[in-house]
Structure 1
Amino acid sequence: MGTAVSPLWAEEQALDQDKVERIAVTGSNIMRVDMEGATPITTITADDIAKAGFATVGDALRSSNLNAFGSWGGGSNNGWGSQATVQLKGASAFHTLTLLDGKRMAKSPVMDGGAANINTIPMAAVERIEILTDGASAIYGTDAIAGVVNIILKKDFQGIQFDGRMDRPSQEGGDSSNLSFTGGLSSDKGHLVFTFEHYEVDRIMQSDRWYTQPFLKEGGNPNDYQDWVNISPTGRTLTQGGAGGWVYSAPFANADRRCADVYGDKFMGVLEDSDYPGDTLCAYDYTKAAATSVDQRRDNTLLHYTYELGDEIQLTARAYWASNETMDISAPVPGKISIPQGLPAYTTEEGLELVELLPDPYAAMTFRFDTAGDRVAEHHDNIYDYLLALNGNHDDWSWDLSVNYNKYANFTWGTGYQLVGATSDLVGYWDDASNSFVGWDPRDPNSVMPGGATANYDKRMNATYLDINGGVSLDLFELPGGLSAMYLGGGYREETLDSRVDALAEAGLIVGGNGGSGGSGERDVKAVYAEFVLPLLESVELNLAGRYDHYSDFGSTFNPQVSLRYKPVDALLLRTSWGTGFRAPTLSDLYQGTSEGFGYITNYLNCYTEGEDIDACARRDYAPTRTGGNQELEPEESESLNFGVVWNITDDISFSVDYWQLETTNLIEELSASEIVRTQAKLWEAADAAGVPRPDVSDIYPSTSISRLGNGKIDYVVSQKLNLGLSEREGLDLKADAKFDTGFGELTLGLGWSHYFKYKSTYAEAGEQILGDDLAGREGVPEDRINLTMAYHYGDHALNYYGNFIGTQTSWDYIEGTEELYELDSAWTHNLSYSYVLPWNNSVSVGVTNLTDEDPVFAYDGTYNGNLYDIRGRTYWAAFRQSF
């Protein structure tokens, strides 16, 4: 799947029956005669996706070798549970532009308006996907830094078709089903296509997979918390303050009872803690309550209509609606109850011997709020997309005009969260008069927590885009290689973002929530662009393109592109391209409101003032970091270079290889609070040594600041988004296809291989941006990704194979007791499918994905990369199609 090289699929549009047919290809506004262009394009048809065993567009794109380092595919316990992305060339998802029929797809406000959610694309409506692996800002504007994914929808379907499919993993969880209807009508002047699709998938609980369940380290002590993996210390544990010697202890003293006997089967212990001898605790098995993946229900509807208004004008109208409902289940909130008044020791009516918590300002209890139930976030995503377009042609020129409006609305209803500090006020007291405890005792499982501590974590997010584009294509003059052509166009776009969380969450008063406000803002963008095709010789074609964009908020940018194709012989094509690209700051980047998050900050300033070495500083303060948008941000910028060879060895065997470089600068990043404090300390140290006034950290990192208390402790740190980073990437994409007529059927083979030579990025250190080591081949950055396809067709029978290879990766961890780095093994997964065309306009298909039931490849600490590896395991599926 995804290895087609020659000829490239393209959207065929005949301009005149008496002229050579020209086609539209992703990455150009000019209709062309030649299918093979100067920039590399890979095409995946809907049939390819189905035969490879994938039920959704998102799964297919995320498995492509061009998505080399993997990408987000949805998961639990985060604000992105309903989302999925694709990341070409290992770049950010914000650097890959996603189009629907050449027009911008609605960007998700859940991702701050920075990327499209490919989970919303209906499989039933897709004809093919064209992936341009070259920068294309000169054509499309912002975001096309690493490439473009163009989803081409069905337009010429006739009749009625029903499709159904069921997927059933051999392990627990992850069952999925989809049902679709496609209908098409045609007349002499018009064509109508309608599709509807329903898809649903069940969640996978963490307890459904052995590697996300609790397990004891090899040779570990089952009574030692430190030797367990996948459990939380926040269960039921008293944390004594200074009056109690800072000892942690389980809340009860009964030697004959386990934590599970007292608090339920999700609690483990009583366990010891070898890092703090003498401490005991009731740990918590969160995997029995938390999901790894989410429940999803999706409905998509597409209506596409074309009508010939006259001999030279065609009307296109499209309406698209997608509705996703996602349920994200996380374990109950892990919290800490401050109990400065302490709790007395006594024995309950059930015989539970409760341990004393001595009165102290720091006396507390870590408490898993399972009594309030799981945290459940219900995400509701709705996309509305409307397109109205006119296309015309007359003699040697043609024109187009389109209006595209889309809106992406998300609402999240989150329950099971906690108000900050509210539980402290609910804790009861010992009444001497009645010689009993009055009110809620968090140590006692039979003592009911009163209401008033739970809270919702709700979010409402909306993003809208109005895009108006038009242009004229002209044939210019004859050159030695043929007729030159030009396209001149312009566009106007309006964008809005309104992303808010409820007031309590905005103030940081909700425990256990995630995903803050994206802010609110609006802007407009005006653009003019031009493109030229110059056939300098019969074998040499030069392509020039340039685009000027003016944004109402940050200003203007201009991006050129030059590409050249050379065919020394008909079977061989040499190509090269160079261009610049950009990503405009999102409205969230610019206008996000200030939010506050607490964490430990290394106090380098205090170390310096106390005469200690800054680099060896170990003083840490628990303080908030205030973050938000920055209206002074500039665009991220890129420069890309590509050299390629395409060789059509025979009519049935083709091969291509493309070497590419991509450099991105001005990357928008957010500094850690500790880096800001360290930079300030280094500035003071240098200034004091030179005997000059101490500069402020904002001189190095604009809009950042540090507030300290009178005793030198950090009060808070302000860290805004800044244009700081740089990355350098270099790789090779190889594709090959072959088709053989065996006399007993047709055999086709395909190969897609992506190899990375270099992957470097900068990091901040004391005010300087330092280009780091080459990460290619390190953990999370495999050097090699391979897709291998084989298909055998004989009459009404078809047998298909799809292989997905992820290369080895070198860890950052040394194997204990050695100086050898741990290595993550390579992984091969294999999909098989069989299809049979029945004689009644119908067909059946059966298959299995991950045939050998491979688990993810694990890092040294036992975790795995969910962006690279699928946890569903071996999955059997069956599909049926009926046409009329």
Structure 2
Amino acid sequence: MKFNKVAKFISLACGGVMALSAPVYAAETEEDSVERIEVTGSRLKRVDMEGATPVTTITAEDMAVAGFSTVGDALRSSTLNSFGSYGGTANNSWSSQATIQLKGASASDTLVLLDGQRMAKSPVLGGAAANINTIPTSAIERIEILSDGASAIYGTDAVAGVVNVILKKSFEGIEFKARAEETEAEGGDNHSFSFTGGLNSENGNLVFTMEHYKKDKILMSDRPYTAAHVRDGEDPTDFRSWVGLSQTGRTLDMGPNGGWAYQAPFSNTDRTCADVYGDNFIGPLSDSKYAGETACAYNYTNAAALDVDRERTNTLINYGYDITDDIKLTARAYWAANKTIDQSAPVPGYIYFPDAMPAYTTAEGLDLVATPEDARMLYRYDTAGNRVRENHDNMYDILIGLEGTTEYVDWDFAATYNRYDNFVWGTGYELKGASTDLVGAWDDATNSFVGWDPRDPNSVAPSGGMANFDMRQTASYAELSGGAGFDLFELDSGTAAMYVGASYREESLDSKVDALSEAGLIKGASGGSGGEGERDIKAIFAEMTIPLLDNLELNLAARYDDYSDFGDTFNPQVSIRYNLFEPLLLRASWGTGFKAPSLSQLNQTPSEGWNDITNYMQCYEETGVVDGCTIENSIPVYVDKNENLGPEESESYNLGMVWDITDNINMTVDYWVLDTDNLIGQIGNDELVYTQAKLWEAADAMGVARPDISVVYPGTSISQNSSGKLTEMDNVLQNFGTAEREGIDTNIAATFETGVGEFKLGLAWSHYIKYTDSAPIGGELVVSRNWAGSSGTPDDRVSFSTNYIFADDHSLFYKADYIDGQTTYDINDDGSKYEIDSLIYHTITYSYMMPWNNSISIGVNNLTDEEPAFEQNGDYSSSLYDIMGRSYWVSFSQSF
């Protein structure tokens, strides 16, 4: 059983390192005074840090000692990020981004805040989620993670939880920090440095931080599991034996008049494809699936990146000033500039030969193979260089806030503005169809080939076949918010209090690509236009806490949001906090939540794509049977915006306990449920045709008029010609999906003082019990099986850490991160299901606090050099697993 495997891991970890110490993630923080403070998940200030909803804290020191180079790395490694999340891999339009996905929900279900205010959403993510790659590590004091739904407090996106990044407010002096990390394998080296300065006076404080971070790319060829290679024991002359090759290198497709056979472009038996076209070409290779065929395959792993080159500079100014004893001004300005270079292999394409291409021998003695009329060539445009997508991300965040107190009221007001700009400059792409027009022809008068012959490596391609890809995207947000907290009435058990607030927010998105890309004429690029849109949101919200008994507190919250584009939504929350006895706190909560459709989903520009679609409608007309249809038509599918989208809705429950077992040992356990419905997605093209045929079948059986597909899926349509062939289809996003999630989160923290030093231990364990989603079949939603424990959705993630602090100035830290194994649909030779192995990453750090206000740390990440856990076919989840391999790092700080 998987619980037994996890229990074994925990017992081994605890038994082996009991003499070490401290949790990376301190689940609870002891209060140092009786001052009322605001905790993530509530706007009411309170004395008790531990509330009715679970909050986990990660400090700046936690991130540093654990060897994390960025905030994104720290958040993504949390056990609360159950199924992993996107971290900035290459070869896609998201390469400059990183996200966190609490409870295994989508990135847009987790709200990210900076000091309690919304962080700028990324236009690259359609304005639906924040890019945590832009957060400066050196500016952070701590991160609070609320692992419960909180739409009643914060509004949209707080479906699975909230990440609140708390920035430094008070700092005296100057501090320099530097960090360098090198990997044992090629690629991924990174370094950073930062400067922080601060001034404190009787009435105010000022903190300034600047940070620079740079990381090198990792090529596919830099890792053995993604580099081109022959599978163990297989034939290296057979294309099917290889991993990391593409037949789109230099390969002739003989077309309909040649049986669609693949052939290498030359027939010389004394030359290899590498001899003729360069070292990245392999072959000629045979094809065991198609007898007699050959190809000059291309090794794309030498050029394609697994991870990108990235460089980031951040600047932050935080200012606080006490205008009076009762009124405080806060001002913040934050700027982040990211540059990401995403390198892909040269664009693959097809060159069509309307006329037959003759066989002849070139001046260099290369015997070229003839092709019949209407043949084509699978061609890698390596002579034009790699595809390079240069992303420039700039984020601005400005805050001005006031907070004050009177005899009866604590009040606050804040004005925020943030803007996220993304510009993409892409080179090395193919102008669709242009290369075909550039191909030359045989000249009988000169008995030679005139113009460009793509079969000949010495024939220079004329300009005009390649193009650039350009994109500009901007998302901006402006918000005014404020409220007041006050005591309502006195009870024997304490004072009932309430907070009432309101906000007004304006959002805008402007996403455009160049005209050629908009027309679908740039081949090999990624990312389309998100369109242009704007909206405003008005909200009112309230919270109330009622001490029903000395040890029983009831919390009520509610929020009403009115969106200018889709309508309004109301979300309540009820939570209870009960001290069964002094060391043991029980807590429970229930609430509803919502996620507004993104501006990109509501305003995306139309796009066209060609798809092979099963023609169930024609099958029904010809045979009277829908299922089992094998007729396919290739047609254009037009995808347009859907202005009628509504919000995704959720309901969440949490039941937990906080147990101070002793003064030095603390434990929390929380059982949670998250149900979501009206999820936004695009109906499958085959499903649209299948549903339309089923509607016809049902109507004919009842003898009524046949309804159109739009009665089931509004905004969609299907067109046929007189012979029954599909001709085109319109498809739009819909509210149709559901998902159910259920799990348990456990945290244990302990501290022991001994004669040889201080020992701290920490354990975080997230267990996933249930994850189901749904898909429409014939117009009806069908709920999936429980995916928990399947590929990409591990049952368990465990993080165990120890920290041994000795001689006051020295510490030795150890951390183990466990990802459970998973079951796949692949079948082993003995008929059993293939199991993805479990995996443990180990980190060791030594730190020394030197006597001159400076410190040094050295560490090893992924000590045992673990590779990802692979599926049967060699694939792996890039969201879950590390590709850095073993790395060594050192950091140094100096304060004045």
After TM superposition, is the score higher than 0.5? yes
**Aligned to 1:715, what secondary structure does the other structure show?**
strand
Residue 707 of structure 1 and its aligned partner are, at CA, apart by 2.2
* Contact in 2 for aligned 1:2/1:64 (Cα 8 Å): no
Q: Distance in 2 between matches of 1:8 and 1:299?
A: 34
1:6 partnered with 2:28: yes
- Given residue 332 of structure 1, which amino acid in structure 2 is its aligned partner? P
Residue 612 of structure 1 and its aligned partner are, at CA, apart by 7.5
Out of 827, 836, 843, the position equivalent to 1:814 is 827
Out of 817, 820, 843, the position equivalent to 1:804 is 817
Q: Distance in 1 between matches of 2:49 and 2:260?
A: 73
Out of 270, 273, 278, the position equivalent to 1:264 is 278
In structure 2, the residue matched to 1:597 is 609
In structure 1, the residue matched to 2:177 is 163
Deviations 1:354-407 (A, max 9, x none): 1111113xx211111111111000000000000000001011311100000000
Distance change in 2, residues 1:558/1:585 (3 Å): same
Deviations 1:813-848 (A, max 9, x none): 112x44211000100000010000111110110000
TM-score, scaled to structure 1: 0.98
The aligned runs of 1:594-633 (5 Å cut-off) are 594-611=606-623, 613-633=625-645
**Aligned to 1:819, what secondary structure does the other structure show?**
coil
Give RMSD over aligned pairs.
1.2
* Contact in 2 for aligned 1:6/1:648 (Cα 8 Å): no
The aligned runs of 1:562-711 (5 Å cut-off) are 562-611=574-623, 613-711=625-723
**Aligned to 2:383, what secondary structure does the other structure show?**
helix
* Contact in 2 for aligned 1:585/1:636 (Cα 8 Å): yes
490-499 or 20-29, which moves further after superposition?
20-29
- Given residue 203 of structure 2, which amino acid in structure 1 is its aligned partner? K
In structure 2, the residue matched to 1:735 is 747
Q: Distance in 1 between matches of 2:348 and 2:621?
A: 37
In structure 2, the residue matched to 1:17 is none
1:151 partnered with 2:173: no
Distance change in 2, residues 1:227/1:324 (3 Å): same
Distance change in 2, residues 1:570/1:387 (3 Å): same
In structure 2, the residue matched to 1:426 is 438
**Aligned to 1:388, what secondary structure does the other structure show?**
strand
- Given residue 135 of structure 1, which amino acid in structure 2 is its aligned partner? G
- Given residue 171 of structure 2, which amino acid in structure 1 is its aligned partner? F
1:64 partnered with 2:86: no
Q: Distance in 2 between matches of 1:413 and 1:172?
A: 27
1:84 partnered with 2:106: no
In structure 1, the residue matched to 2:217 is 203
Q: Distance in 2 between matches of 1:157 and 1:216?
A: 57
1:174 partnered with 2:188: yes
Q: Distance in 2 between matches of 1:875 and 1:671?
A: 44
Q: Distance in 2 between matches of 1:342 and 1:211?
A: 41
Residue 710 of structure 1 and its aligned partner are, at CA, apart by 4.1
Which structure has more RCO (C-alpha within 8 Å, separation ≥ 6)? 2
Residue 189 of structure 1 and its aligned partner are, at CA, apart by 0.6
* Contact in 2 for aligned 1:2/1:43 (Cα 8 Å): no
Deviations 1:529-558 (A, max 9, x none): 000011111100000000000000111000
The aligned runs of 1:243-322 (5 Å cut-off) are 243-322=257-336
1:462 partnered with 2:474: yes
Q: Distance in 2 between matches of 1:227 and 1:711?
A: 43
> What's the % identity of the aligned pairs?
58
- Given residue 439 of structure 1, which amino acid in structure 2 is its aligned partner? G
Residue 699 of structure 1 and its aligned partner are, at CA, apart by 1.1
Q: Distance in 1 between matches of 2:250 and 2:406?
A: 78
Which runs of 5 or more residues in structure 2 are unaligned? 1-22
* Contact in 2 for aligned 1:2/1:42 (Cα 8 Å): no
In structure 1, the residue matched to 2:527 is 515
285-294 or 625-634, which moves further after superposition?
625-634
* Contact in 2 for aligned 1:3/1:736 (Cα 8 Å): no
* Contact in 2 for aligned 1:216/1:222 (Cα 8 Å): yes
In structure 2, the residue matched to 1:551 is 563
Q: Distance in 2 between matches of 1:736 and 1:640?
A: 24
Residue 334 of structure 1 and its aligned partner are, at CA, apart by 0.7
How many residues are aligned here? 873
723-732 or 588-597, which moves further after superposition?
588-597
43-52 or 597-606, which moves further after superposition?
597-606
Which runs of 5 or more residues in structure 1 are unaligned? 15-19
In structure 1, the residue matched to 2:19 is none
275-284 or 350-359, which moves further after superposition?
275-284
Q: Distance in 1 between matches of 2:167 and 2:831?
A: 54
In structure 2, the residue matched to 1:715 is 727
Out of 861, 871, 875, the position equivalent to 1:849 is 861
Q: Distance in 2 between matches of 1:2 and 1:145?
A: 25
**Aligned to 1:514, what secondary structure does the other structure show?**
coil
Q: Distance in 2 between matches of 1:739 and 1:480?
A: 37
1:443 partnered with 2:449: no
In structure 1, the residue matched to 2:386 is 374
Q: Distance in 1 between matches of 2:721 and 2:825?
A: 38
1:484 partnered with 2:496: yes
Residue 337 of structure 1 and its aligned partner are, at CA, apart by 1.0
Out of 353, 357, 363, the position equivalent to 1:339 is 353
**Aligned to 2:43, what secondary structure does the other structure show?**
coil
Q: Distance in 2 between matches of 1:169 and 1:95?
A: 34
Displaced runs of 4+ in structure 1, greater than 6 A?
A: none
* Contact in 1 for aligned 2:28/2:57 (Cα 8 Å): no
Residue 457 of structure 1 and its aligned partner are, at CA, apart by 1.0
**Aligned to 1:425, what secondary structure does the other structure show?**
helix
Residue 181 of structure 1 and its aligned partner are, at CA, apart by 0.4
Deviations 1:51-103 (A, max 9, x none): 11111100010001000100000011100000000000000000000000000
Q: Distance in 2 between matches of 1:622 and 1:366?
A: 20
- Given residue 284 of structure 2, which amino acid in structure 1 is its aligned partner? V
In structure 1, the residue matched to 2:7 is none
In structure 2, the residue matched to 1:829 is 841
Residue 484 of structure 1 and its aligned partner are, at CA, apart by 1.0
In structure 2, the residue matched to 1:388 is 400
TM-score, scaled to structure 2: 0.96
Q: Distance in 1 between matches of 2:368 and 2:723?
A: 39
Residue 277 of structure 1 and its aligned partner are, at CA, apart by 1.4
**Aligned to 1:50, what secondary structure does the other structure show?**
helix
Q: Distance in 2 between matches of 1:600 and 1:22?
A: 63
Deviations 1:234-276 (A, max 9, x none): 1111111222232221111111111111111111111111222
- Given residue 519 of structure 1, which amino acid in structure 2 is its aligned partner? G
The aligned runs of 1:181-220 (5 Å cut-off) are 181-220=195-234
- Given residue 743 of structure 1, which amino acid in structure 2 is its aligned partner? G
**Aligned to 1:226, what secondary structure does the other structure show?**
helix
* Contact in 2 for aligned 1:232/1:286 (Cα 8 Å): yes
1:55 partnered with 2:69: yes
**Aligned to 2:305, what secondary structure does the other structure show?**
coil
